[in-house]
Amino acid sequence: MSDASKPEISRRRFIGGGAAAAAGLAIAPGVFLTEVSRARPADQPASAENRWGMLIDTTKCAEGCDACVRGCQQENGWGGPNSNEKHSSALQKSQWIRIVNVRDKETGFAATLPMMCQHCEHPPCVDVCPTGASMKRADGIVLVDRHICIGCRYCMMACPYKARSFVHEDLRDQLPTAPRGKGCVESCTLCVHRVDRDGPDAVPACAEACAAEGHDAFIFGDLNDPNSRISEALAKHGGTKIRDDLGLNQGVRYRGI
């Protein structure tokens, strides 16, 4: 039983904090010689203690800017001028993230926003997958297991956000962190390779590119941790889940729409 008078600190976090203090040589309070990774060790599985999410402030999105899309393309090796999809039409080519312009007909209010896999808590793509290839990790990241994907594309039909693409042709020279190939469906992975490496300090490629452009519209973080930057921002300003009426409880939230 937890005692209400005790400060809210889990055993794991306490031990983690102790280890961090021991590993990083403190030269002054709060100043460390070595940076201590808050990521879990490589041999530990992703845990349901985390729920990774992203908050996108569309008011910071500049019109005509596609830095996030280019950042994702570079990181994951899809699309762009050097696309390794040589024969597919523009509609067939993969699109892990895209820029969408929305406009309220009544008021004329317009916004530009990046749209990608929303990493739902109750993902329809997982519901419809006949093989179990479409899956959600313990920490809420929705992925396609290409090892068992048969390319039926049911998930593409089921996704309300049109977030998934199908690879139509033979590819080569993929990046080791983003294997992808013909006959499989794919979508945003929330840069899962970075999340596994850096934990709460991870910055997905889209967010990194956006920050480099000076817009800084993305906040990545742990929705389960009330002290994370994303949770604090959500508590302060709130966030919109697109098509919240579907009750999917997405990990990706928006501001300013």
Partner 1 sequence: MVRLLRLLRSLLLAAGLASLGLPLAVQAEVPLPKVPEAQKRVSETQGCVEPVEVMRKKHYEFLEHQRDDTLRRGIRTRKYSLEECINCHVPPPESGKLVRIESKEHFCNSCHSYAAVHIDCFQCHRDTPLPGKVSGHKTGSRLLGTAPPTMESLKLASEGDVR
Chain contacts with partner 1 (rule: CB under 8 A) = 42-46, 135, 137-139, 143, 145-147, 170-176, 179-184, 192-193, 195-197
For the CB of residue 92, give the shortest distance to partner 1 in the complex, in Å. 18
Give CA–CA dist 23/12, Å, rounded: 16
For the CB of residue 253, give the shortest distance to partner 1 in the complex, in Å. 23
For the CB of residue 243, give the shortest distance to partner 1 in the complex, in Å. 27
Residue 78 phi, psi dihedral angles, 5° rounding: -120, 160
Dihedral angle sign, alpha carbons of residues 88, 90, 92, 93: positive
Which residue, 31 or 42, has its beta carbon nearer to partner 1?
42
Q: What is the β-pairing status of strands 52-57 and 252-255?
A: parallel
Q: Which two tokens stand for residue 73?
A: 């393309």
Neighbours of 14 (CB within 10 A): 11
For the CB of residue 96, give the shortest distance to partner 1 in the complex, in Å. 15
Which residue, 46 or 156, has its beta carbon nearer to partner 1?
46
Which residue, 81 or 176, has its beta carbon nearer to partner 1?
176
Alpha-carbon distances, residue 209 vs 196, 218, 246 (angstroms): 19, 10, 31
Which residue, 80 or 238, has its beta carbon nearer to partner 1?
80
